[in-house]
């Protein structure tokens, strides 16, 4: 059992990298509910399941967001509607926590929350790409929705809404439309190195900006 869990985690995510990022999040106060280390196995299992959806969707990675009620899926959609299918699987997984599921394309760094917001702002048509599911059973400890019964008592649950946000580019089956969403980059973005402009003797950069791909 231990070996199987280790294999799942190793296959699904770069676990050490994830733990480091999550620990940093805890230090800056965004996650103090004790949920930090729940996110790694949750992300791994949701990723494993999402990859089986609709003819093996091309899902790259999964991130459970702060508070563990939101999930971001990084994927390369092949067909119209595929991202929505994947997000529905996220909201109906073995975990009751997810109530917001967001899909972004592979050129978006899901570990950078600013990039997730950028994708939502630039690739989402609210009239078509956001779906609200009313009357869904959500996690009983989510205080944002009405509670029925009493904590610990039989039948205790909460009912609320769930939301799907498709922030991916148009799928591969529509290459002309997909190309319209290619990210703009400054001239020399891939060849200019910031280290070349540091004063002589300056310490090396601690954080190097990532180059978005796709």
Best CA proximity match to 54, nearest among 81, 94, 91, 92: 81
Q: Which pTM value belongs to this model?
A: 0.75
Average pLDDT over residues 3-20: 48
Task: Give CA 97 to chain center in angstroms.
Answer: 14
In terms of Cβ atoms closer than 10 Å to its own Cβ (0-12, 13-18, 19+), residue 118 is middle
- Check residue 211 and give its pLDDT: 54
**Residue among 81, 12, 14 nearest 53 (CA):** 81
Question: Which pLDDT band holds residue 27 (cuts at 50, 70, 90)?
Answer: very low
Output the pLDDT for position 68.
Answer: 86
Which residues contact residue 94 at a Cβ distance below 8 angstroms, ignoring those fewer than 6 apart?
45, 49
Q: How many CA atoms lie within 13 A of 141 on its CB side?
A: 9
Q: Where are the alpha helices (DSSP H) in the chain?
A: 2-12, 15-27, 39-50, 82-91, 113-123, 126-129, 175-179
Predicted pLDDT of residue 199: 86
CATH numbers and ranges of domains, the chain: 2-175 (3.40.1670.10)
pLDDT in tens, 76-102: 999 999 999 999 999 998 888 999 999
Nearest one of 60, 51, 43 to 9, comparing CA atoms: 43
Q: How many CA atoms lie within 13 A of 159 on its CB side?
A: 5
């Amino acid at each position: 059992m231990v070996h199987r869990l280790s294999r799942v985690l190793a296959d699904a995510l770069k676990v050490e990298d994830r733990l480091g990022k999550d620990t940093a999040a805890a230090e800056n106060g965004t996650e103090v509910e004790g949920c930090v280390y729940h996110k790694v196995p949750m992300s791994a299992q949701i990723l494993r399941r999402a990859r089986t959806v609709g003819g093996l969707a091309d899902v790259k990675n999964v991130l459970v967001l702060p508070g563990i009620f939101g999930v971001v899926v990084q994927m390369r959609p092949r067909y119209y509607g595929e991202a929505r299918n994947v997000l529905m699987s996220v909201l109906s997984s073995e975990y009751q926590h997810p109530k917001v599921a967001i899909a972004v394309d592979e050129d978006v760094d899901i570990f950078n929350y600013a990039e997730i917001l950028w994708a939502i702002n630039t690739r989402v048509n609210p009239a078509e790409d956001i779906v609200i599911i009313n009357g869904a059973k959500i996690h009983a400890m989510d205080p944002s929705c009405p509670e029925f019964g009493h904590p610990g008592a039989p039948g205790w649950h909460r009912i609320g809404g769930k939301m799907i946000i498709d922030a991916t580019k148009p799928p591969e089956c529509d290459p002309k439309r997909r190309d319209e969403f290619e990210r703009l980059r400054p001239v020399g973005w891939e060849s200019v190195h910031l280290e070349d402009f540091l004063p002589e003797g300056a310490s090396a950069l601690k954080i190097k900006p990532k180059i978005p791909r796709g």
